[in-house]
Structure 1
């Protein structure tokens, strides 16, 4: 698609607009009107729905829906996602980190990714409370833009010994297997951050080096991972399954099952192999 730079410009604008809407709910005029409900034990707020509607209306008004499938967390849950999986798909999370949003940690994000043939080729991640957006086009590098319009390229950390790497971890999505894995890795520096988008932002900002996702009763979904993945890989990092296989999106299966590792890339395969070995020796009784 030759007009990717134009689509990226539109997507960045939409991301800033969406960030302003979320902030109005978070600490502004709509802060008392979240109307929180729960679906599959996950919270959904009026902010999720308002931003979801805004993003879809803006993208579809400019781009239409003939070439594109639109898959969002909120429309998927309500059965409104189109079933015809076109080669081009928008995968959108209007509010990644809803629990953090409700609990006022400030660590929530907006994810927008354009996927071609199951792989992301354009993405934007907005971190509203940091007043930043991160963006990338496949083979075009990864960048961060601040609210005042300054932009800089991003590059992951390098030349760190394995034991000095910092893991960015979740506060809420934890289970016994993941805790066992984290406790037995050779790198024991941990940093807690909400939202997958926020976690990947810490890696491309060189505040952390590794993120691990390990599915239990549930798994991260396409909209949790697609946009952050491209931001990371275009900054020089890697994001794969433990066996090294790539993550695939818009396949008809929204769950990203198994072990997933995001890193600065330098010790990626060693960490994948180590993680698999640690988990082979895991017993729930431990």
Structure 2
């Protein structure tokens, strides 16, 4: 399969997983706790199984690193130069609390960089996808269209922030001297997508994230013309790191 076919696969599986999550939500569900005390639900497990099985069936030569398999200790080690990163339900806390800001993330990494990805928003029916050099796209009730980051409007920056860190003093310090119109605090990779589609301009992330949280939305953002850099030092956010944890970073649209 070439990269176009792999992107179509990721987009289809993310969309199918979003439908499965919505079905679990409609039926009702229990919330359990993992070893790190973060929440997990039946929706996480069903969505991950659907995505992982689909990826391995269609592209068996590409290893899959998925959040719940990592937790269970069953994910492959030393995945090689190309591998999938899957977060079947990014924003489980939002999902469990009845909020709508959660996503399905399916991204492909090559040589330490995300090269394509799909992000589905089950609650809104939106799906975003993108590939390096081929642009980024969004599908919703209005149809499918290309998306791109925007120039900062005259009224100032729309800044995306984490729902669970909305009183973080680091945000105040980071925004000092910037012309800010509004700050929007929500959960999940949706924040990347709002910058990618040009409805927001900046997303600084100070707290911990994992590689499966960011690979797919980073691919979408960069395909839409945005950038992501490390908060300290300004280098690239790399993938395949020991332990899979990310340092702090900043997502930006067009300067």
Cα contact 1:167–1:187 (8 A) shared by 2: no
Q: How many residues align?
A: 253
**Of residues 72, 85, 101 in structure 1, which corresponds to 2:79?**
85
Distance between the aligned counterparts of 2:3 and 2:175, measured in 1?
42
| 1:247 matched residue in structure 2 | 237
Secondary structure of the 1:93 match is strand
> After the TM superposition, which residues 217-236 of structure 1 pair with which residues of structure 2 at under 5 Å, given as runs?
219-236=208-225
Query: What is the Cα-based RMSD across aligned positions, in Å?
Result: 1.9
SS in 1 for 2:209: coil
| CA distance in 2: counterparts of 1:22 and 1:92, whole angstroms | 15
- Cα shift at 1:3: 1.0
Provide the residue aligned with 1:145 in structure 2: 139
Find the counterpart in structure 1 of residue 252 from structure 2.
263
Residue 174 of structure 1 and its aligned partner are, at CA, apart by 5.3
* SS of equivalent to 1:68: coil
How far has the Cα of 1:60 moved from its partner? 0.8
Which has the larger strand fraction? Answer: 2
Taking structure 1 as the reference length, what is the TM-score of the superposition?
0.83
Distance 1:127 1:185, change over 3 A: farther
Give the stretch that moved more between structures: 73-82 or 94-103. Answer: 73-82
Q: Which residue of 2 aligns with 1:125?
A: 119
Which runs of no fewer than 5 residues in structure 1 stay unpaired? 267-286
Change (3 A) 1:180 1:159: closer
Tell me if 1:168 matches 2:160: yes
Equivalence for 2:45: 49
Gaps of 5+ in 2: none
The answer (yes or no) to whether the contact 1:136–1:234 under 8 Å persists in 2 is: yes
Q: Contact between 2:229 and 2:249, CA under 8 Å: does it hold in 1? A: yes
Residue 185 to residue 159, structure 1, CA distance change in 2 (3 Å): closer
Aligned partner of 1:36 in structure 2 is 32
Point out the structure with max Rg over C-alpha. 1
Range moving further from structure 2, 87-96 or 177-186: 177-186
